[in-house]
Amino acid sequence: MEWPPCTDEFEKLRIRMSTPRVVIDNTVCPTATIVKVDSARKHGILLDAVQVLSDLNLSIKKAYISSDGRWFMDVFHVTDQIGNKLTDESVLSYIEQSLGSIHNGKTDHSNGLTILELTGTDRVGLLSEVFAVLAEQQCDVVEAKVWTHNGRIASIIYVKDSNSGILSEGSQKISMIEARLRNVLKGDNDFRSAKTSIANAVVHTERRLHQMMYADRDYQRNPIFKFTSDAPLVTVQNWAERGYSVVNVQCKDRIKLLFDVVCNLTDMEYVVFHATIKTTIDQAYLEFYIRHKDGTPISSEPERHRVIQCLQAAVQRRAYEGVRLELCTEDRPGLLADVMRTFRENGLNVTRAEISTIGDMASNVFYVTDVIGCPADQKIIEPVRQKVGLSNLKVKELAIACHQKVEREDQAVGVGGAVLLCLGSLVRRNLYNLGLIKSCS
């Protein structure tokens, strides 16, 4: 590293100590690329590291996380989405550079776009009404993400003026858009919890969605049964001897699972000191040793119950409900309003959406169910495809039959306790090998 002429030795040492050391190894493990991160510990540093890997849609097969004093050590076993090791040098270089700068913090800037944040009660056809308002107000949707959970909806939408490209903050038009969207979100009975706001920048879009739903207390609302849900098993116990609270999560494995769990632990002001993550073919087992920021473990039964509820919600918010539809077509004003209206008129409910615009093309992903939450039948989807365009709207994932899902859940719960106990032994053995405890028995 080249130093400025006036940099003294103490400043050089401080910079070296605060800059994470990253090692990427493709030789040790035959099935995964190993990513090692050593860094000075600070609150949120684990989330920053996991976020880098999650943003690349990498699958984290195993992970070992430990904090020794003021030092933070991570080992991640990662693959691409189809299970292959990472070989693209540009990707490896990006990972190394990004992890090496995680102390600097990251913000998703608006790039001149207006950012709308919406929360409220979910209902069939709500997104159709939201995008109809934006089209009527001559706003182009450039990017958006929509999550639903327990009857609630959260969305972050990046928009621009169809004519000028600029929506001035505080202008009459912005005020009109906020008021119209708030009325749509309120519907007939959501006068208190429906919210709309304008944001200048988002720390991280998906992290912000978690924060919005957490603030909306979606975890406290009565769970709405979803036919395709894989209910996560979460347990919280205190390890009094070492002053930790031990959190175990067992659920269906998927991309970004670790990010979702760590994101919520971080936003609830817990610090992860040690963790072990292990995955099988379709199941994930996560164990975390946590404390409050002041160094104390979970101290009450209501708090323990809240942690369980919040982590279950964190896993389920991104759960793939229904059939995955992909829309790729030339973008035009009112496109989303027209597509969403077609969905609504044919009885399709959107449970999740990822909307983006690349150049002149719209590239959107929707997860849809029927009006009561069951996976949408092919007979319902085909008329929608014919109206939108068979070549434009494609079915990418059909939901698995409900009874098969239920059978897997029963089997998972049956073996959950034994697997989690096994993970506890693994973490204790790791702590013993690091010299942090006297016995691993």
- Please tell me the distance from the alpha carbon of residue 276 to that of residue 65, in angstroms, as a whole number: 6
Measured CA to CA in angstroms, residue 241 lies from 246, 248, 292, 413 at distances of 12, 18, 16, 28
Shared domain for 133 and 192, answered yes or no, is: yes
What is residue 101's three-state secondary structure? coil
> ∠206-174-138 over CA atoms, to 5°?
90
Shared domain for 217 and 326, answered yes or no, is: yes
Q: Which helix (H) or strand (E) holds 357?
A: strand 349-358
Which tens digits make up the pLDDT trace of 332-363?
A: 999 999 999 999 999 999 999 999 999 899 99
Residue 440, pLDDT score: 46
Shared domain for 92 and 117, answered yes or no, is: no
Domain count, the chain: 2
What is residue 388's three-state secondary structure? helix
Burial (CB count within 10 angstroms: exposed 0-12, middle 13-18, buried 19+), residue 39: buried
**What residue numbers bound the domain in which 177 lies?**
108-221+320-397
**Sequence-separated (6 or more) residues with CB below 8 Å from residue 180:** 133, 137
Which domain-ending residue is among 50, 82, 106?
106
Domain membership of residue 404 (yes or no) is no
Q: Which has the closest alpha carbon to 143: 356, 365, 358?
A: 356
Contact 305, 247 (CB under 8 A): no
Taking all residues of the chain, what is their mean pLDDT, rounded to a whole number?
Answer: 84
Q: Examine the pLDDT at 215 and tell me if it is beyond 80.
A: yes
Q: Which residues pair with 283 in a beta bridge?
A: 252
Residue 396, pLDDT score: 85
Tokens of 232: 């996560």
Shared domain for 76 and 129, answered yes or no, is: no
The single-letter DSSP state of residue 102 is G
- Please tell me the distance from the alpha carbon of residue 344 to that of residue 349, in angstroms, as a whole number: 7
Burial (CB count within 10 angstroms: exposed 0-12, middle 13-18, buried 19+), residue 198: middle
Residue 111, pLDDT score: 75
Other CB atoms within 10 Å distance of the CB of residue 312: 19
Given phi > 0 = left and psi -120 to 50 = alpha, else beta, which region is 187?
left
Which domain-ending residue is among 397, 416, 435?
397
Domain membership of residue 136 (yes or no) is yes
Shared domain for 98 and 170, answered yes or no, is: no
Residue 422, pLDDT score: 43
Measured CA to CA in angstroms, residue 272 lies from 56, 105, 268, 307 at distances of 23, 19, 11, 14
Shared domain for 112 and 102, answered yes or no, is: no
Shared domain for 40 and 165, answered yes or no, is: no
Domain membership of residue 238 (yes or no) is no
Confidence of residue 106 (pLDDT cuts 50, 70, 90): low
- Please tell me the distance from the alpha carbon of residue 304 to that of residue 298, in angstroms, as a whole number: 7
Domain membership of residue 402 (yes or no) is no
Residue 101, pLDDT score: 83
77: domain CATH number is: 3.30.70.260
Chain centroid to CA 127: 20
Other CB atoms within 10 Å distance of the CB of residue 225: 9
Shared domain for 197 and 86, answered yes or no, is: no
Phi and psi at residue 61, in whole multiples of 5°? -80, -40
Q: Which residues of 88-103 are buried (b: 16+ CB within 10 A; e: fewer)?
A: eeeeeeebbebbbebe
Shared domain for 120 and 194, answered yes or no, is: yes
Shared domain for 85 and 208, answered yes or no, is: no
Which tens digits make up the pLDDT trace of 128-185?
A: 999 999 999 999 999 999 999 998 999 999 999 888 877 877 688 899 999 999 999 9
